[in-house]
Amino acid sequence: MKKEITFKELRDSGYLDKSINEEIQANLILRIQLKKTIFEGLWGYEDTVVPQLKKAILAGHHINLLGLRGQAKTKIARSMVDLLDEYMPIVKGSEINDSPFNPISKFARDFIEEKGDETPIVWVHRSNRFFEKLATPDVNVSDLIGDIDPIKAATLKLPYSDERVLHYGMIPRANRSIFVLNELPDLQARIQVSLFNILQEGDVQIRGFQLRIPLDIQFVFTANPEDYTNRGSIVTPLKDRIGSQIFTHYPKTIELAKAITEQEARITPSDKALVLVPNLAKDILEQVAFEARSSEYVDAKSGVSARMTISAMENLVAAAKLRLIETDSEQTSVRLVDFTSIIPSITGKIELVYEGEQEGADEIARMLIDNAIMAQFEKVFPRIPKLEKEGVSTPFTETIEWFNDNLLQLNYTDEDNEFKINLLMVTPLVELIEEYYPEISEQDKLFYMELVLWCLTISNKLDKSENDQVFTFDSLGLGTQFLGHN
Output the pLDDT for position 209: 59
Q: Residue 347 sits in a domain of what CATH number?
A: 1.10.8
* CA separation for the pair 46, 36 (Å, rounded): 13
What's the DSSP call for residue 202?
A: S
- What is the number of domains present in the chain? 3
Query: Which of 353, 380, 407 is at the close of a domain?
Result: 380
Same domain, 59 and 192: yes
- Quick one: pLDDT band at residue 480, thresholds 50, 70, 90? very low
Query: pLDDT exceeding 70 applies to what percent of the chain?
Result: 93
* CA separation for the pair 198, 203 (Å, rounded): 5
* CA separation for the pair 357, 372 (Å, rounded): 20
Same domain, 313 and 368: yes
Same domain, 140 and 121: yes
> Within 13 Å of residue 140, how many CA atoms lie on the same side as its CB?
5
Q: Residue 476 sits in a domain of what CATH number?
A: 1.10.10
Cβ atoms of 287 and 105 closer than 8 Å: no
Same domain, 198 and 286: no
Query: Which of 247, 272, 291 is at the close of a domain?
Result: 247
Tell me: the pLDDT tens digits for 448-464? 999 999 999 999 999 99
Output the pLDDT for position 203: 67
Q: pTM of the prediction?
A: 0.85
Structural domain for 127, as ranges: 5-247
Q: Which of 158-167, 187-196, 285-294 is modeled with the greatest confidence?
A: 285-294
Q: Residue 144 sits in a domain of what CATH number?
A: 3.40.50.300
Mean pLDDT of 356-367: 92
* CA separation for the pair 251, 256 (Å, rounded): 6
Smallest CA-to-CA distance from 83 within 22, 138, 35 is with 22
Same domain, 395 and 319: no
Query: Which of 380, 414, 449 is at the close of a domain?
Result: 380
Mean pLDDT of 75-79: 93
Q: DSSP per residue over 432-465, as a string? A: HHHHH-TTS-HHHHHHHHHHHHHHHHHTTSSEEE
Q: DSSP per residue over 208-252, as a string? A: T---------EEEEEE-HHIIIII----HHHHHH--EEEE----S
Smallest CA-to-CA distance from 173 within 108, 112, 109, 94 is with 94
Same domain, 387 and 373: no
Same domain, 411 and 330: no
Smallest CA-to-CA distance from 44 within 247, 310, 249 is with 249
Same domain, 174 and 314: no
- Quick one: pLDDT band at residue 202, thresholds 50, 70, 90? low
- Quick one: pLDDT band at residue 311, thresholds 50, 70, 90? very high
Q: Which residue has the higher pLDDT, 295 or 144?
A: 295
Same domain, 200 and 272: no
Same domain, 454 and 469: yes
Least confident of 47-56, 74-83, 218-227: 218-227
